[in-house]
Structure 1
Amino acid sequence: MLDIRFAAARSASGAVAVVVPSGAPSGALDLLKLGPADLAECEAFLEDVEHSGSAGTVHTLPRPARKPSRLLFVGIGEADEAGWRAAGAALARSARSETSLRVLVPQDTAADAVRGLAEGLWLASYRFRLTDAEPDPLRRVTIALPGNAPAPDALTAALDQARAVVTATLLARDLTNMPSDRKTPAWFARQVVKAATGVPGLTVEVREPAYLAAQGFNAILAVGRGAASERGPRLVELSWRPRGAKRHVVLVGKGITFDTGGICIKPLSGMKLMRKDMGGAAAVIGATLAAAEMRLPVRITALAPLAENAVGADAMRPGDVVTHYGGITTEILNTDAEGRLVLGDAMAYAVRRLRPDVMIDLATLTGAQGVALGKRTAALYSHSDTLAGALATAAAASGESVWRMPLNEDYAEEIDGDLTDVVNSTDIGAGSVLAALYLREFTGAMRGNWAHVDMSSPAWSDSNDGELTKGATGWGVRTLTRWLEATVA
């Protein structure tokens, strides 16, 4: 990660960035301590390029043999957190060839502006590397305030919040980007243990196949049955238990480390990116780690049911019947609808054993989500207006996006089974809605305090886009962390 810190504004020999609010580009020049001729040059440059100040717009003025040698004028739009985040992301790319960057900000810069700027810088500068490739030259960014006084405590706290959330988001990206020849359920579990080791208040339990069989986690076992034994399923439970916590939140994330579709095998086009099918598990683990780093006073249990949905001699078949943890039975009509099976086991366990106040599940669950809402917006389902509204607010504040979808009661009978309580697939369409209705069967007494987020498409970006870099996005860490922050505010 970039080294981002505060410092007093002073002359610099390298690159300097100046923030430009929407509609007032010349006002940014007040932050530059330059002589009249240099200021006139900058003003003429801004007029010539017609800098609008719109968020994320960057215009660069080279100044060879002078100090600073390069000026980057970056728009912050309406100067809200989203505008500052866009500015940070744009600067991370525009200044990538520099070794350091100084960002001049006004004296009255708000805490949320600093958080947005830092998040944008860190998130957009992310690169996933399997080898020790040479990193980008840009290593340090200084946020420079006018005068020599240290940064106010509120700004320092905002930078620390951004660091905690981004660190967790980048871990989620790393986990999701990792190729599946290396990313077995056991490997994923080891990464969680490694990340939690030494953090006060965090504990990890890794349940292996023998335990899962003894305790009745038959759906997790069924999904993982086709894989080789060394790639067998796991259930990871990461717990954050701060003293004095009065609320218990359970976060459940789908953790299919690779999805062939099983016997109902996917075509190549649908299988190439299936290493991302554990993005929900990565997100709930990341959010819990961020909450622990921020010392949020809310108890959190993250459950990651992990399996590889492979084609093998013992793989589950269409027509098989599975008895979930807790007793609900499912007839398997499509082995490629496996994510809801492992989630069902984990959610039933959470309701029966953990007794949370709120339960939220995240899953790269259906292609239908992307058809309905595209690449940047996840589908949100909940019977609670309060919970749905709070999650939507948190998503918007964090730079992510959700859209509430209906839990159509007219469709509920479509998942009723002839041989079993439910079936895991239907042919009527509305795939994302029906998957949510299926998961609802496992919420028990938590039905009114449960939310399901289908984030299949937003988990992956096909190109560099704002604060996203091509590949895994770590979607959900920022939304969940903002929501957790708000619940204890």
Structure 2
Amino acid sequence: MNHKSLLLAACLSLTFAPPAFAQTVTGSGVVPATAANSAERAIGFAANAPASGALVIVMTDATLPLLDGVAFSAPERQAVAAAIAAATFDGKAGSTLSLRGIGAHSRILLVGTGATPTSLALAEAGGKAAQELKSEAQPVVIAGAFGDTSAADVAYGFALGQYRFDRYKTVDKKAPPTGAVTLVGADPAAAEAAFTSRWKPLADGVRLSRDLANEPANVIYPESFVAEVRKAFTGVAGVSIEVLDEAAMRRLNMGNIVGVGQGSPRGSRMMLVRYRGSGAPAAPLALVGKGITFDTGGISIKPSANMGNMKGDMSGAASVMGAALSLAKSRAPVHVVAVAALAENMPDGNAMRPADVIRTMSGKTVEIVSTDAEGRLVLADANEYVAQAYKPRAIVNIATLTGAIVGALSDQYAGLFSRDEALAAKLLAAGTASGEELWRMPLHKNFFDRLKSDVADIRNGGSDGPGASTGAHFIGFFVDDAMPWAHLDIAGVNRSEKTNPLTPKGMTGFGVRLLDQLARSGE
């Protein structure tokens, strides 16, 4: 298929008006849903706390800390100390000890951080507390030997850990806990200021990413994704938003992203959110996310088993928007442009086929080997556009790109590919600091040979082999060699089958914390 034919076919796509964010299907129609996610516990800070409800004590070792501002009698301290000794609780990171029947508190929960807790360890303690108390309605007091503003770190973790996505449940829906959370410390005003200015915006960004990725594909598709992100940024200072619809992308000769979406009646979009804080550099850091709002594989259709998880194939796009929201709401002194390359990959009489040849906006040609290798196609156009229109100082891609990375790294790490050593080092450091860890993967020049085409400049897949690396090579082909560039393959970490302290079961929002940290590091 030549470029002119592809663009003519794309014109046949229909466009639907964006729905309300929370929708559900009844019968054959789509109607607005009245429900939203259950309310979360309010989080506050105080110098003193009530004597009732649940008490969480953050522990660095086996010694019970002084709990200034908490009504805790000497006999109660003795009872807790005896329980610690009996249970051999040592306060190591991730450890917990639950006690009942001591004093007026309905429950006393000890949560360990380790001897010299980092900000991340404190956050994980807060998340652990949120998970342990998720089915208990009473108010919660969290206390410990909080120095400086460390109570804010714990509060941030609690905010991440208490997330739930239950807006479509109508039968046997569990009532959420309503009791407020109060963190008690020597300087509550400072802790609250730190939480409000730094950690709450980050939690909001993670929540946006999770909400977008958890939504079903009849609710979130390219146009409604744009509508919801616009809503999230309403009133946020320093932000500008650009959206390219199919007509604009056709004029720019973006054959890849238009081609991927041409089998769906829901038109493709490219959304760019730019935030520039005070004192930030002139050239932005570009964060470019894959936004396949549902991926059937197209004509190269996927097996039906677990295909429903492909509603989360836009997790990369969701997370770059979440990171931009965090940075903008916290007024970080950074300059970023977040790009969501949005399309729905569906099989249809108008869908892109294997062996088609399509063209990116730079004029480079691509032979389609598999229509299920679509994420790299939309990223190619997004990378070329942001490089030309925004002149970034570096480009970082993030995508649920390959099953191969899951086979290599399981759900422990995202794969990192980069031609730039300095950028790779900053990403690895940001991953460690944020708790969203990366593992460096190879970009060997021989892998690129698998992508050579007899009829076009490159093909979008190769024979069996290093699939994650060849996918990264394909994306890198559309980024100038002089541009610092990295690609993060998050296919194994964007969704969790189990609950962890900071990531409840479901879509994790992976990448928001990492990219927020990267931007703040000065990259």
- The TM-score, its normalising length taken from structure 2, stands at 0.87
Instruction: Please name the residue that 2:16 is paired with.
Output: none
Change (3 A) 1:268 1:157: same
Among 483, 504, 517, which residue is 1:469 paired with?
504
Q: Which moved more, 1:469-478 or 1:411-420?
A: 411-420
Within-5 A mapping of 1:15-414 = 15-21=54-60, 24-28=61-65, 34-63=72-101, 66-78=103-115, 79-96=117-134, 97-107=136-146, 109-111=147-149, 113-131=150-168, 135-146=175-186, 150-151=187-188, 153=190, 156-228=193-265, 231-246=266-281, 247-414=283-450
- Could you tell me how far apart the structure 2 residues matched to 1:393 and 1:110 are? 24
* Secondary structure in 1 matching 2:99: strand
* Secondary structure in 2 matching 1:285: helix
CA contact (8 A) 1:11 1:68 kept: no
Following superposition, the deviation at residue 412 of structure 1 comes to 1.6
CA contact (8 A) 1:358 1:446 kept: no
Letter in 1 for 2:355: G
Letter in 2 for 1:274: M
CA contact (8 A) 1:380 1:403 kept: yes
Structure 1: 5+ residue stretches without partners: none
Following superposition, the deviation at residue 414 of structure 1 comes to 1.7
Letter in 1 for 2:119: E
Fraction of identical pairs, as percent = 35
Q: Deviations over 1:341-364 (max 9, x none)?
A: 000001011122221101111000
Q: Deviations over 1:179-203 (max 9, x none)?
A: 0122221111111111122212112
CA contact (8 A) 2:336 2:519 kept: no
Change (3 A) 1:423 1:139: farther
Structure 2: 5+ residue stretches without partners: 1-39
Following superposition, the deviation at residue 206 of structure 1 comes to 1.8
* Secondary structure in 1 matching 2:111: strand
Letter in 1 for 2:123: R
- Could you tell me how far apart the structure 1 residues matched to 2:138 and 2:243 are? 42
The count of aligned residue pairs is: 477
* Secondary structure in 1 matching 2:181: strand
Letter in 2 for 1:5: G
Following superposition, the deviation at residue 213 of structure 1 comes to 0.9
Q: Deviations over 1:317-364 (max 9, x none)?
A: 110001001111100000100000000001011122221101111000
Matched, 1:2 2:41: yes
CA contact (8 A) 2:67 2:143 kept: no
Among 457, 460, 463, which residue is 2:492 paired with?
457
Q: Deviations over 1:423-456 (max 9, x none)?
A: 0000131001001111111111544x11110001
Matched, 1:486 2:521: yes
Following superposition, the deviation at residue 365 of structure 1 comes to 0.3
- Could you tell me how far apart the structure 2 residues matched to 1:63 and 1:253 are? 50
Change (3 A) 1:214 1:76: same
Following superposition, the deviation at residue 76 of structure 1 comes to 1.2
- The TM-score, its normalising length taken from structure 1, stands at 0.93
Letter in 1 for 2:241: V
Following superposition, the deviation at residue 305 of structure 1 comes to 1.1
Q: Deviations over 1:232-289 (max 9, x none)?
A: 1111111113344214111110000000001110001252200010000001111111
- Could you tell me how far apart the structure 2 residues matched to 1:51 and 1:244 are? 48
* Secondary structure in 1 matching 2:321: helix
Q: Which moved more, 1:40-49 or 1:430-439?
A: 40-49
Following superposition, the deviation at residue 369 of structure 1 comes to 0.8
CA contact (8 A) 1:196 1:203 kept: no
CA contact (8 A) 2:95 2:112 kept: yes
Letter in 1 for 2:138: T
Higher helix proportion: 1
* Secondary structure in 2 matching 1:254: strand
- Could you tell me how far apart the structure 2 residues matched to 1:153 and 1:36 are? 29
CA contact (8 A) 2:213 2:507 kept: yes
CA contact (8 A) 2:222 2:268 kept: yes
Letter in 2 for 1:13: S
Following superposition, the deviation at residue 156 of structure 1 comes to 2.6
Q: Which moved more, 1:276-285 or 1:346-355?
A: 346-355
* Secondary structure in 2 matching 1:157: helix
